[in-house]
Amino acid sequence: DQQVKQNSPSLSVQEGRISILNCDYTNSMFDYFLWYKKYPAEGPTFLISISSIKDKNEDGRFTVFLNKSAKHLSLHIVPSQPGDSAVYFCAAASGSARQLTFGSGTQLTVLP
Amino acid sequence: NAGVTQTPKFRILKIGQSMTLQCAQDMNHNYMYWYRQDPGMGLKLIYYSVGAGITDKGEVPNGYNVSRSTTEDFPLRLELAAPSQTSVYFCASSPGVEQFFGPGTRLTVL
């Protein structure tokens, strides 16, 4: 049973436009959410996070929104750039060791 | 800082062989983790450690073992390799919540 779901395996966006990546979760014990970016043959790199007590966190071109009642979060990238093309993973933290549960990822392609 | 390093980068094993995947970090993080990523899937937690001498199972621990004798090192041992263990393995470390990942080890079991 997938506790963190990314239902869109891929997304294509024109350069300069907004990219919106979505993530749903089922476990109410998750209290921290993170987005990671992954290029081929590299490890994931941290992008942005949000605590469950907030509904929005912004860092430059990246904004994460959290809707706790819907158990849904989204990552907005504005404006999108070709270098943003990568696989984006949503992850949720729980437990005393802050174990992460990952979604299956969304391949973002930003077209020039 | 080198961050999180993993060796080897690639390895091919025969069924039944064993090997150790090495992971080291130089950020003095207490928390360390091992994940595997299968094609088209997210990362799944194999084992984790909250400090030297303390380890615990994650979601998919069967067929693997770990040890943590120092803060810096967290090796993952595969005993009796099986084709189902063909995957990309990532090690990560963390000071709290945000995890920093190594470049991965691509393992093929034939």
- Which of A31, A48, A49, A100 to probe by mutation at the B interface, max B CB count within 10 Å? A100
CB-based contact, A34 to chain B, within 8 Å: yes
HSE-CB for A18 with a 13 A CA cutoff: 8
pLDDT band at A2 (very low <50, low <70, confident <90, very high): confident
Q: What percent of chain B has pLDDT over 90?
A: 92
Judged against a pLDDT cut of 80, whether residue A1 lies above it is answered with: no
* Interface contact flag, B42 A98, Cβ < 8 Å: no
Please check whether residue A64 is in contact with residue A92, taking contact to mean a CB–CB distance below 8 angstroms: no
B57: number of Cβ within 10 Å:
13
Residues of chain B found within 8 Å of residue A27, distances taken between Cβ atoms: none
Identify the pLDDT of residue A97: 77
- What's the mean pLDDT in B64-86? 96
DSSP 8-state secondary structure symbol assigned to residue B2: -
The separation between CA A1 and the C-alpha centre of its own chain, rounded to angstroms, equals 19
Asked if residue B1 has pLDDT above 80, the reply is: no
pLDDT value at A63 more than 90: yes
User: pLDDT band for position B40 (50/70/90)?
Assistant: confident
**Chain B residues interacting with chain A (CB cutoff of 8 angstroms):** 4, 31, 33, 35, 40-45, 48, 50, 56, 58-59, 90, 92, 94, 96-104
Q: What average pLDDT does chain B have?
A: 95
* Segment A1-28 mean pLDDT: 95
**Residue A99 pLDDT more than 80?**
yes
The partner residue sitting opposite A97, judged by closest CB among B31, B44, B98, is B31
Question: Which pLDDT does position A12 carry in this prediction?
Answer: 98
Give A36-57 pLDDT, tens digit per residue.
999 999 999 999 999 999 999 9
Average confidence (pLDDT) over B72-81? 96
